[in-house]
Amino acid sequence: MIGKIQAAQGCYDNGVFSFPVRIYYEDTDAGGIVYYANYLKFAERARSEFLCFLGIDQQKDLEENGSGFVVRSCHIEYLQSAVLNDDLTVTCRIADLGAVRAVIHQKIMRGDAVLAELEVKVVYMNVRTHRPTRIPQMMVDKLTSV
C-alpha cells in the first residue's frame, strides 16, 4: 500500500522559517535559468507554508471570517540565477507586524548564496468588503510566538 503523500514542511530556527524548493524544467526559460516571475511563486509557497507551520489555516479563515492576507507590495532584488536541478531554500522572517498589516523579509538561497531578496508587505483584508481589518489576536499570538 502506498502511504499518504505529505507536502514539504519546512522548518523554523532562530526567528527564520526555511522552506525547500527544487528547480524543475518547467521553472526555467529558454536560456535554461529560472524565469524571473517564478521567484515570486517560490516566495508565496514559503509564506503559505510558514502560516501552515504556525497552525494558521488560510482556507478556514477565508470560509469562517471572509478574511485573509493579500499582498500590498513586493520589492524583489535579483542577485544571481537559479538553474535546473538546483535545491533552494526560501526563508521568511516577520520584520514588522501591525494591527492590519505585516512586513515579511524573504531570501531565496542556494546553499549560502543569496539569489534573491524580497520585502513583501501584506494586509489582512475582508475579501467581501475589500477593506483592511484587524488581524485576529490568535493569529497575532502565533506570528509573534516564533
Grid coordinates of 29: 526559460
- Answer whether 67's CB lies under 8 Å from 133's CB: yes
What pLDDT was estimated at residue 5? 57
In a domain, 7, yes or no: no
What residues act catalytically? 29
**Single pTM value for the model:** 0.91
In a domain, 131, yes or no: yes
In a domain, 122, yes or no: yes
What pLDDT was estimated at residue 3? 62
- Residue 9 pLDDT level (bands cut at 50, 70, 90): confident
Split into its structural domains, the chain has a count of 1
In a domain, 6, yes or no: no
For residue 88, what are the domain limits? 12-145
- Residue 91 pLDDT level (bands cut at 50, 70, 90): very high
In a domain, 5, yes or no: no
In a domain, 2, yes or no: no
d(CA 67, CA 70): 9
* Mean local confidence (pLDDT), 124-132: 95
DSSP string across 31-65: TSBB-TTHHHHHHHHHHHHHHHHTT--HHHHHHHH
In a domain, 3, yes or no: no
What pLDDT was estimated at residue 4? 63
* Mean local confidence (pLDDT), 31-56: 96
Percent of the chain past pLDDT 70, that is, above it, reads 95
- Answer whether 82's CB lies under 8 Å from 64's CB: no
DSSP string across the chain: -PPPP-----EEETTEEEEEEE--GGGB-TTSBB-TTHHHHHHHHHHHHHHHHTT--HHHHHHHHSEEEEEEEEEEEE-S--BTT-EEEEEEEEEEE-SSEEEEEEEEEETTEEEEEEEEEEEEEETTTTEE-PPPHHHHHHHHH-
The CATH number given to whatever domain includes residue 106 is: 3.10.129.10
* Mean local confidence (pLDDT), 95-117: 98
In a domain, 22, yes or no: yes
